[in-house]
Amino acid sequence: MKALLETLRPGDPDRKLAESIDPLRLPAHIAIIMDGNGRWARQRSLPRVAGHKAGVDAVRETVETCARLGIGALTLYAFSVENWKRPRTEVETLWRLLRFYLHRELDLLQENRIRLSALGRIDALPAIVREDLEECCSKTAQNRGMRLNLAINYGGRAELVDAFNRILDNARRDGSLPVLDVDEDLISSALYTRDQPDPDLLIRTSGEMRVSNFLLWQIAYSELYVTETLWPDFRRAHLLRAVADYQKRDRRFGGLTASEDDEQLVEVAGVRKA
Ligand code: FPP
Sorted by where each starts, the structural domains of the chain and their CATH numbers stand as 25-273 (3.40.1180.10)
Indicate if ligand 1 lies below 6 Å from the C-beta of 120.
no
Spell out the residues 6+ positions from residue 32 whose beta carbon is closer than 8 angstroms to its own: 62, 74, 75, 76, 77, 202, 203, 204, 205
**Residue in 122, 74, 114, 115 with CA at minimum distance from that of residue 98:** 122
Strand partners, 147: 73, 115
Single pTM value for the model: 0.94
User: Is residue 77 lining ligand 1, measured as CB closer than 6 Å?
Assistant: no
> How would you list the strands of the sheet with 223-226, edge to edge?
115-119, 147-154, 73-80, 29-33, 201-204, 223-226
Residue 270 has a pLDDT of: 62
**Of these residues, 12, 22, 83, 153, which one is catalytic?**
83
**Count of CA atoms in the C-beta half-sphere (13 A) of 252:** 9
- 234 CB under 6 A from ligand 1? no
**Residue 73 CA to ligand 1 centre (angstroms):** 20
Q: How many CB atoms lie within 10 A of CB 86?
A: 15
Give the pLDDT confidence score for residue 124 in this predicted structure: 98
Name the H helices within the chain.
Answer: 2-7, 13-19, 37-43, 48-69, 88-111, 127-139, 156-174, 184-188, 236-246, 258-268
Q: Measure 63 CA to ligand 1 centroid, in angstroms.
A: 16
Q: Within 10 A of 96 (CB to CB), how many other CB atoms are there?
A: 15
Nearest to 22 by CA among 246, 269, 273: 246
Q: Which residues pair with 152 in a beta bridge?
A: 79
34 Cβ below 6 A of ligand 1: yes
Question: Is the Cβ–Cβ distance between 34 and 55 less than 8 Å?
Answer: yes
Beta bridge partners of 57: none
Ligand 1 probe mutation, 33, 37, 79, most atoms within 8 A of CB: 37
pLDDT tens by residue, the chain, 274 residues: 889 999 999 899 999 999 999 999 999 999 999 999 999 999 999 999 999 999 999 999 999 999 999 999 999 999 999 999 999 999 999 999 999 999 999 999 999 999 999 999 999 999 999 999 999 999 999 999 999 999 999 999 999 999 999 999 999 999 999 999 999 999 999 999 999 999 999 999 999 999 999 999 999 999 999 999 999 999 999 999 999 999 999 988 888 776 676 676 666 666 554 4
Nearest CA to ligand 1 atom 24: 38
Q: How far is the CA of 80 from the centre of ligand 1 (A)?
A: 10
Give residue 257's pLDDT. 73
32, 33, 35, best to mutate for ligand 1 pocket (most atoms within 8 Å of CB): 35
Q: Ligand 1: distance of its center to the CA of 158 in Å?
A: 20
